[in-house]
Amino acid sequence: MNEGHTRSIAWRHTLTVALALAAACASAQAQQRNLTWSAGQASGGWYAQASGFAELVKIRDPHFNIKTVPGAAYGNMTKLQQGETDLAWSLPPVIAAAYNGGEPYKDKQSDIRLVMTGLGFVHTQFCVAADSPVNSVREIFEKKMPLRIGTAHPGGSDEWELRKIFEFYKTTYADLQNRGGKIVFGSFTDMSSQYRARNIEAFILNNAVPSTDIEQASRERAMRILPMDEQLLKYLGGFGLVRAVVPGGSYKDVVNNNLDILTAAMANTIVTSEKVPAEAIYDFTKILLGNLDALRKIHPAFKDFDPRDAVKLANVPLHPGAEKAYREAGLIK
């Protein structure tokens, strides 16, 4: 065999090995699921919950690499539509408004698809200093209290709901300011620290119970959580909120902690975009359905999760990958 022929065989062998390695690398990369999950504020329940889900999924399938980033219920829908994130936490009234192009969205966010709902609830918790002469949300408005009220920046469900409460009582932020009050925007951590520093007398947040920020704030400054009345709850129900209670015993340092506090709530919901590959969402959903005990231990809000509730979200279609997983589990026909 001449030298040229030997070099040719060696070259073909090298090329074959290189192509095989390239194919193997491409296959490995194709299997890798690098996803971004837009959650809530870094100190809030959603961020911790999404991180817990990401860890569970990666343990069960190392091909998943889910990065949790801060977000907010309303802003997360736009991020999905624009392809800036792959998964997102949100809430039923927000999702429906986004998908159908309702307020505050100018256009339909038509790429949104449901993955899983019913994952516990975020409760509206309207907190006020214990020395304030109000014992309910209604009294704030009936007595025209000039309170400095903290809330999340616009784009979160908290501030959206606060505006709806103001609308129900036929008043505005400007009215509050005219009588000496003020709306103060910030993160959950900001609200807790501003309350402790006595820069605000009240704040509203939508968060899982118990909320770390409320626990911290109530330890240093006495507070009560204000109940809502049935008329307000009926009004909020028209936007997809449900009647709920903050159970007695949830916060040892809240002065009315001995009572069940009537309030509104919304179901935690995972959504995605129709552009996210079906295989990735199928595997993600299948892992969660197959590890319910571990899922329920991620956060107290999930302890009563029933997978039969996971698809109960009106007017927003399931992602095909999630639908396949639910059909295989016998949860939909």
SS3 assignment for the chain: CCHHHHHHHHHHHHHHHHHHHHHHHHHHHHHCEEEEEECCCCCCHHHHHHHHHHHHHHHHCCCEEEEEECCCHHHHHHHHHCCCCCEEEECHHHHHHHHHCCCCCCCCCCCEEEEECCCCEEEEEEEEECCCCCCCHHHHHHCCCCCEEEECCECEHHHHHHHHHHHHCCCCHHHHHHCCCEEEECCHHHHHHHHHCCCCCEEEEEECCCCHHHHHHHHHCCEEECCCCHHHHHHHHCCCCEEEEECCCCCCCECCCCCCEEEEEEECEEEEECCCCHHHHHHHHHHHHCCHHHHHCCCHHHCCCCHHHCCCCCCCCECHHHHHHHHHCCCCC
Section 96-125 average pLDDT: 92
Report phi then psi at 319, rounded to 5.
-65, 140
The predicted pLDDT at position 12 comes to 52
Q: Domains in the chain and their CATH numbers?
A: 35-120+268-328 (3.40.190.10), 123-265 (3.40.190.10)
The predicted pLDDT at position 4 comes to 52
pLDDT at 189 over 70: yes
pLDDT at 331 over 60: yes
The mean-pLDDT minimum among 6-20, 235-249, 306-320 falls in 6-20
The predicted pLDDT at position 238 comes to 85
Q: What is the pTM of this model?
A: 0.74
Percent of the chain with pLDDT over 90: 74
Per-residue confidence band for 31, with pLDDT thresholds at 50, 70 and 90: confident
pLDDT at 104 over 70: yes
User: Considering the chain, what is the average pLDDT of its residues?
Assistant: 90
The mean-pLDDT minimum among 13-17, 128-132, 184-188, 207-211 falls in 13-17
Between β-strands 182-185 and 148-151, what pairing exists: parallel, antiparallel or unpaired? parallel
pLDDT tens digits for 294-306?
Answer: 999 998 889 999 9
The predicted pLDDT at position 27 comes to 40
The predicted pLDDT at position 21 comes to 46
Contact 221, 128 (CB under 8 A): no
The predicted pLDDT at position 103 comes to 82
Section 115-141 average pLDDT: 96
Closest by CA to 261, choosing from 197, 209, 303, 313, is 209
pLDDT tens digits for 193-216?
Answer: 999 999 999 999 998 899 999 999
CA distance 276 to 244: 34
Closest by CA to 286, choosing from 323, 254, 244, 332, is 323
pLDDT tens digits for 106-117?
Answer: 899 999 999 999
The predicted pLDDT at position 15 comes to 46
